[in-house]
Amino acid sequence: MTWLTTELFAASAAPAVGSRASVVLPVVGERVVGEMGRVLGLALIAVLLVVLIGPAGTGTL
């Protein structure tokens, strides 16, 4: 219940901070998280390929 109260308070206080900041910051944050997710996803795929193929290309795990 405390989490919900905190979220409601933050949502009601956000417009007072500045309408432009409250609109721009979440968009920038979402874009940064999206970029990080893409980079981490590509790195994970690369690691999985190396593990599955094997360092010497023998196909051993």
Whether 59 is covered by a domain: the verdict is no
Q: What is the pLDDT of residue 52?
A: 76
User: Quick check: 61 and 55 in contact, CB under 8 A?
Assistant: no
Q: What is the pLDDT of residue 45?
A: 87
Q: How many CA atoms lie within 13 A of 41 on its CB side?
A: 6
Side chain identity, residue 6: T
Whether 34 is covered by a domain: the verdict is yes
Whether 11 is covered by a domain: the verdict is yes
Whether 61 is covered by a domain: the verdict is no
Q: Per the structure, how many domains does the chain have?
A: 1
Q: What is the pLDDT of residue 59?
A: 55
pLDDT confidence bin for 6, thresholds 50/70/90: low
Whether 16 is covered by a domain: the verdict is yes
Distances (CA, A) of 38 to 2, 7, 44: 33, 28, 10
Domain that holds residue 18: 2-53
Report the pLDDT averaged over residues 12-33: 61
Whether 60 is covered by a domain: the verdict is no
